[in-house]
Amino acid sequence: MIQLEQKTAPQIAEAVAKRLKKRRKERHFTQAELAKRAGVSFASYKRFEQKHEIAFDSLIKIAIALDCEKDFEQLFATRQFSSIEELIASEKN
């Protein structure tokens, strides 16, 4: 899992792009093959691997093509509290 503490948006995007590229290679897909399977343009996919820029809906389509869509389930998921005190403090805010 990416550690988000103290990272910038570009750093997080780069880390995601690197993991995506690794997953693509594990599945033995070329950039063009994965773009086609995902229904996104080759240029859009290539830009993500190189410049770490992509539309969110395109990223979701790529995740689906790689059978990784469940990875989005934890994005902004309900926070788990480690103590009753944290829960109470959260409720007060």
What is the b/e burial string over 63-92, where b = at least 16 CB atoms within 10 angstroms of the residue's CB?
A: bebbeeeeeeeeeeeeeeeeeeeeeeeeee
Q: Is residue 51 part of a domain?
A: yes
pTM of the predicted protein model: 0.77
Tell me what pLDDT residue 39 has: 98
Structural domains of the chain, count: 1
Q: What's 31's domain CATH number?
A: 1.10.260.40
Q: Is residue 76 part of a domain?
A: yes
Residue 63 near residue 45 (C-beta atoms within 8 A): no
Residues 91 and 23: their CA atoms lie apart, in Å, by 40
Tell me what pLDDT residue 85 has: 82
Q: Is residue 3 part of a domain?
A: no
For the chain of 93 residues, list the mean pLDDT of each consecutive stretch of 10: 73 95 97 98 97 97 95 83 78 72
